[in-house]
Structure 1
C-alpha cells in the first residue's frame, strides 16, 4: 500500500505517465563505494540517503524515485527478473502484492538478512511481515503506518462540527457537513490503491478486531469474505456514498486531487493512511495542521479498532552488485537515527526503537491504539496471494460505478483467496 521512491541505475526507468527523478550525478567513485537504490516517496528516501552519505564519506547512493505504486511494482519486478534491479529497494511488508516480502522471497529475489544484528531483535509480529516463506528475515521494517480519519483542523473548527466517535455519528456528521456545503470526507478512487482504505478502516472494528484469527479461518476453509462482517463493511461503504459522505464522482478523482481537497479545506477529512498528510500539506495554506482519530464502524466508541501495520520496508537484491554496502544501509535504516529520520519525513511512526522520535497529533493516536490493544494489521498482509488485493481494488471501483454489487465483489475476493491457499 502506499507510495514509493528510489531506484538505482544511471538512468531513470522510463514508464509512460510516471514521474521519475534521479540523483547522484557526475563521475561515480569506485564501484565499491556506489550503492544503487529504488523507492517511491522521494522526500523520506532522499533524506535517508543524504544522512547515510554524510555518515559515510566517499559513498555515493544512485537513486531513482517513482511516484506511482503500480508502476513501481511492475518496474521493479521486471528489473529483478532481468537481473538489472538496484542493490536496495523499498518493498511492502507481508504478502498481498507482487512487491511484498513474502512474494519476492518465495521467488528467491531477496538477500537473507537474518544474520544482521538488528534482525535478532525483531519482535514476532515484525518478523512475520519481514520474513520470506522459509522464515528468513529479508527486510528491515522502517515505519509503522495507520489508516484513520485524517482531519484538517482549521476546516473542522470553522465548520463547528465534532469528530465522530460512533457509526451513527459518522452519518450525522456527513449530513451536517453537506448542509454547510463542504465535503465531509475526500475520496479519490481513480487511484486504485485508495479504494481499499475505507474498507480496511471499517473491517478493523467489524472483523479483525473482534476476531484476530479470521484470516487463518479463511485459510482453513472455515470462513469467507461473503459470509462474514466484510459484507456489513462494504454495505456501510455504500451507505457513506449514498449519505453524501464523499465528494462527487470519486471514481474520477485521483489521490493528488483528493489530498488537495483535504489540504485546501474543501473537505473536512479523509479516511486515509496517516502519511498522506505529507501530500495534503503541499496544497494547504500556511499554518494548516492535521490530526487523526480512529474511524468508527459500530454504535460504541469502545468497539473501534485502528488498522496499524508496518508501512515501509526495505530489502536487498539477492544479486546485489554491492552487498556489503547494501547491508550497511540496512543497518542505518534500523538505527534509532535512521528510524526517527524516516518516520518524521514520511509522517509515520518508527517501526523499531527510536527514543528521539517525538509523536504528534497524527502519531500519538497510533501509539495509543497499539498500547491499548485496539489495533489490527492491514488485512492484505495475511492474504495468500496478490490476486485478492487486485480483485478488491478493481471491484470497488466497479461497485461505485454500479456495475457490481457487494455479494459479487466478495465472491470475487473469495475465489481469488482460494486460489492461493
Structure 2
C-alpha cells in the first residue's frame, strides 16, 4: 500500500496569540508544566485540553501562530537561541526550514526511536518522520490530501456533474462559466496556495506513473524541465484561459477564496481538504462539502490523489521537560489522540484509530490509499527548501505573465541541483 498530507495551512493575518490552559495558579511543579507551539490553534488546542484532562495537575502552556511563514521563522529563531518550547508542530519530510529532515540535520530534535509507537511505523511513515541519520524524531498525527473539493448545495443548484477526466474538467469550466458561477475559486495572493493545483496534476502525470521520479532527479537522470511537469503547468494555464478560475487570482487571498467557495459563488476549489474548515465559516448553515480526485488525464483510471502525512510533532532536543514531552507524544500517537486531532483538523489519522469515522471528504482519500492510487506531496522528497520557495513565487509570476513555463521549470531545476 502506498503512502497515506500540507499541508493544512491557514494563511491568516501574521499574528501570534499565546494562551495557557489548565492550572495557572502556580500550584503545578515545574515537572508538570509543558510548553507547546503550533501553527493553527483549533486542533492543537483540542489535543492539549484532552491531554490535560487525562493527566490531572499537568499544565500545557501554548503559543499559537496562525500564519505558517511567521511560525516557521519564529520557531527557527527560538531554536537557535535556546528559547523554543518543549514540543512543537513541524512539517513532514523536507521542503522547508521547519520540516523534519531540515531540523533533524541541524540537531534540533530529540531522538524518539525508542518510543513504542515509533517501532510500529511503516517504512513510508518513517521516511517522513526521521532525520537524515534514520532516527525517528517526529510523531505523525494526520494525513491530508489535495483534491477537488465541492460545495454540495452550489453544485446541486448548478445541475452540473463533477468531472472525472481532464476533458470533462474543461467542459465543466465552460458550462459553469455560462451559468455565471466560478468553477474553481483560486487565491494565489496567499503564496502557499499556488502549489496545490500543480501537486494535484503532477500526482497523475508524474509521481503516480513513476514513483521513483524524485530519486531519478537526485541521481541526475531527469529534471523538472524534461518531465510531465511541463504538461502539468501548461494545463494549469489552460485552466486559467478556459475560465476555470475567478478573475485576477493573484489579487485574491486565501480568506477571500474560502469566502467565495463557502458562499457558493464558486462551485469548488482544488485544495487541501482541511480548507473546508475555513469555508464553513462563510457558508450558510447546513452547507455540506465533498471531495473527488482531481483528474489530469483522459481516463478516470489514471487519476492519482496527492496524499501525505500532514501534521507532525517533535520534541526540542533541549526540552526543559523531556519526560512530559514524550508523554504528550505518546498521547498524540494513541488511537484517542489520533481520532481527536484528525476530526478537529478535518483530516484522517496517520496511525491506527478504530474510532475514527471517515466522511464524504475523507473516504475518497482512504479509498485512494487502499487502492494504491495515492502519491506523496512532491516537496516532501525535495532536497532543500529552495525548490518549494522557487515554485511558489514562480507560479505567481507565471499567472502575471512575466515568465513562461520553461523558465519556471528551469528555476526549479536550479534550486533542486543547488543541494547536490
Deviations 1:257-284 (A, max 9, x none): 1111111111100000011111111111
Deviations 1:331-376 (A, max 9, x none): 0000000000000011100000000000000000000000111000
Please report the TM-score for the alignment, with normalisation by the length of structure 1: 0.96
Q: Quote how far apart the aligned CAs of 1:17 are.
A: 4.0
Alignment check: 8 A CA contact 1:111 1:138 kept: yes
Secondary structure at 1:118 match in 2 = helix
Secondary structure at 2:160 match in 1 = coil
Separation in 2 of the partners of 1:247 and 1:30? Answer: 55
Matches within 5 A, 1:368-379: 368-379=367-378
Partner of 2:143: 144
Q: Quote how far apart the aligned CAs of 1:30 are.
A: 1.5
Separation in 2 of the partners of 1:207 and 1:364? Answer: 24
Deviations 1:289-311 (A, max 9, x none): 00000000000000000000000
Secondary structure at 2:116 match in 1 = coil
Partner of 2:399: 400
Partner of 2:3: none
Q: Quote how far apart the aligned CAs of 1:16 are.
A: 8.5
Alignment check: 8 A CA contact 1:4 1:72 kept: no
Partner of 1:59: 58
2:48 aligned with 1:20: no
Deviations 1:235-265 (A, max 9, x none): 0000001111111111111111111111111
Alignment check: 8 A CA contact 1:87 1:323 kept: yes
Separation in 2 of the partners of 1:4 and 1:74? Answer: 15
RMSD: 1.3
Secondary structure at 2:89 match in 1 = strand
Q: Quote how far apart the aligned CAs of 1:3 are.
A: 4.7
Separation in 2 of the partners of 1:267 and 1:4? Answer: 20
Separation in 2 of the partners of 1:69 and 1:181? Answer: 34
Q: 1:2 aligns with which of 3, 7, 22?
A: 7
Separation in 1 of the partners of 2:7 and 2:75? Answer: 15
**Structure 1 spans left out of the alignment, 5+ residues:** 6-14
Q: Quote how far apart the aligned CAs of 1:71 are.
A: 0.7
Separation in 1 of the partners of 2:111 and 2:15? Answer: 31
Secondary structure at 1:125 match in 2 = helix
Separation in 1 of the partners of 2:391 and 2:375? Answer: 19
**Structure 2 spans left out of the alignment, 5+ residues:** 1-5
Alignment check: 8 A CA contact 1:3 1:69 kept: no
Separation in 2 of the partners of 1:20 and 1:156? Answer: 37
Partner of 1:409: 408
Alignment check: 8 A CA contact 2:14 2:70 kept: no
Q: Quote how far apart the aligned CAs of 1:18 are.
A: 1.8
Separation in 2 of the partners of 1:60 and 1:180? Answer: 54
Alignment check: 8 A CA contact 2:112 2:118 kept: yes
Q: Quote how far apart the aligned CAs of 1:112 are.
A: 0.2
Query: Which structure is richer in relative contact order (CA contacts within 8 A, separation 6 or more)?
Result: 2
Alignment check: 8 A CA contact 2:8 2:274 kept: no
Matches within 5 A, 1:228-239: 228-239=227-238
Separation in 2 of the partners of 1:395 and 1:172? Answer: 28
Deviations 1:183-229 (A, max 9, x none): 10011111111100000000000000001010000000000000100
